[in-house]
């Protein structure tokens, strides 16, 4: 009797831990909520990763979308209807409109009056990447901090968890 009780407790404990890992493990906790928007995906990912809207606050996205004709030195202009549609999507899912842990930290790291245009200019990003040397960013397979997917294997699914980082040589 005592023996079987012990086995039962063990089974329940293992089962509960498994369930906890599946629902609250690194993967699902670290991953930004899945978002889809056909035009955002198609237009933004032509030149770079379609950066998850939860990586910048709403005011930053409005600034970016209002200046697409001079987008980091490049003309990325869209027709007005497409630009407005993508702008609405970005704003609705922006970091300061999200309750996701990572998004809240990003939004919280930015001064109220600031609207950075680069994710890599947010204090959160700088802090998280403080161990990366300037020479590492310049490696041919990386190029610049714009290239999230070079090191973050799950970047296109909004997964920036520590265990999915592989820094190319």
Partner 1 sequence: MADLPLLLLLLWALAAPALAADPRSMLRELEAQARAANPAFKGFSAERGAAFYRSERPGGDGKPVACASCHTPDPKAVGRTRANKDIQPLAPGANRERFTDPAKVDKWFRRNCNDVLGRACSVEEKGDFLAYLISVK
* Rg value, the chain, Cα: 20
Q: Which of 19, 20, 144, 168 binds partner 1 (CB under 8 A)?
A: 144
The angle formed by the CA atoms of residues 56, 26 and 134, to the nearest 5 degrees, is 55
Q: Which of 55, 76, 90, 151 binds partner 1 (CB under 8 A)?
A: 76
Identify residues 31-70 at the interface with partner 1 (CB under 8 A): 45-49
Return the number of the residue (22 or 84) whose C-beta is nearest partner 1. 84
Return the number of the residue (95 or 155) whose C-beta is nearest partner 1. 155
Give the DSSP per-residue string, 57-102.
Answer: -HHHHHHHHHTGGGBTTB-----HHHHHHHHHHHHHT-GGG---HH
Q: Which of 1, 34, 75, 111 binds partner 1 (CB under 8 A)?
A: 75
d(CA 150, CA 146) in angstroms, rounded, equals 9
Per CB under 8 A, does 147 bind partner 1?
A: yes
Beta carbons of 50 and 158 less than 8 angstroms apart: no
Q: Which of 65, 94, 106, 150 binds partner 1 (CB under 8 A)?
A: 150
* Of 108, 103, 106, residue with least CA distance to 93: 103
Shortest Å, Cβ 134 to partner 1: 16
Residues that bind partner 1 (CB under 8 A): 45-49, 72-78, 142-144, 146-147, 150
């Amino acid at each position: 009797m005592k023996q079987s009780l012990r086995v039962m407790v063990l089974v329940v404990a293992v089962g509960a831990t498994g369930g906890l890992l599946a629902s609250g493990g690194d993967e699902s906790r670290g991953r930004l909520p899945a978002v889809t928007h056909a035009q955002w995906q198609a237009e933004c990912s032509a030149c770079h990763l379609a950066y998850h809207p939860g990586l910048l606050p709403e005011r930053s996205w409005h600034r970016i979308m209002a200046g697409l004709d001079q987008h980091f030195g490049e003309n990325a202009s869209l027709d007005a209807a497409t630009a407005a549609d993508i702008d609405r999507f970005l704003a609705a899912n922006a970091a300061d409109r999200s309750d996701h842990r990572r998004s809240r930290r990003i939004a919280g790291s930015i001064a109220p009056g600031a609207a950075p245009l680069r994710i890599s200019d947010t204090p959160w990003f700088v802090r998280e990447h403080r161990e990366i040397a300037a020479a590492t960013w310049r490696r041919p397979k990386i190029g610049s901090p714009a290239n999230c997917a070079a090191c973050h294997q799950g970047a296109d699914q909004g997964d920036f968890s520590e265990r999915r980082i592989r820094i190319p040589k």
